[in-house]
Amino acid sequence: MSNTIYIGYYFTVKPLQPATEILIAELGYAGFESFVETETGVTAYIQKEEWKGNILKDIYVLSSDEFEISYTFDEIEQVNWNSEWEKNFNPIIVDKLCSVRAPFHNKPNTKYDIIIEPKMSFGTGHHETTHMMIQHIMANDFKGKSVLDMGCGTAVLAILAEMKGANPIDAIDIDNWCYLNSIENTERNNCKNITVYEGDATILTNKKYDIIIANINRNILLNDIKTYSKCLNKNGALFLSGFYEEDIPIIEKECNTNGLKLKNKLNRNNWVALHFEN
């Protein structure tokens, strides 16, 4: 990976929110694989082999009248991801109960303290969807439950599930960086009950869980909800995030079709996290 050439885009965004979150989501769909939020906007990276000159043509937020967004870009031979994160990754605390921080941050006085080295993976807790999924996990009983963290990113949700007593836990991500980073982070937090896999929903054949957590995006979720429902044990719970308030009807319809009923909803800056049960 060290010789991979990246294209770095440096976006200046006014006002920062919600434009930055929308921009990151749209860039993710376009193939960008790493994001570093800055004081003035966001830096986004894409492998040169995945890049094309019109890569931003479908990034609709760039043409929005509500925001001012400008950018420059250049080619980068190597990126020191740890250095990038150390410059920009601030610790977060969710509801005074759960902290998510890097190893170089001071330990806060929270019940659940998660240490991650994010590198290029998504799921630091800063994004609204991860923040809300942490809230869902803290609000529900995970003791002795079998759990799937689908699209695990940094594995922060799987780690919190183990801290809350879940066992066993599978953490799955299709991205090799996320897979490797999740292994590192589970080891860093002394987790004993998490198994990390590289892949997608096709590897869930004959798997069964009490709880499934999936923080991905709308289209992947719509494609995989049927699979998740088949993997849920009786009286199981499905937590979904990675989409907007306006996406709820289509997500809920697909869940209802597969025997899942909406129990609870969290909303944060137009992003939502839904709790379904079978």
DSSP H/E element including 70: strand 68-76
pLDDT tens-digit readout, 141-184 = 999 999 999 999 889 999 999 999 999 999 999 888 889 989 99
Distant-in-sequence, close-in-space partners of 180: CB < 8 Å, separation ≥ 6:
none
Instruction: Dump pLDDT digits (tens) for 73-132.
Output: 998 766 665 566 566 677 889 999 999 998 888 899 999 999 987 665 555 656 788 899
Count Cβ atoms below 10 Å from residue 232 Cβ, excluding itself.
22
Longest dimension (CA), the chain: 52
Pairing label, strands 41-47, 34-37: antiparallel
pTM passes above 0.85: no
**Number of other residues whose CB lies within 10 A of the CB of residue 190:** 9
Which two three-digit tokens encode residue 216?
A: 């991905």
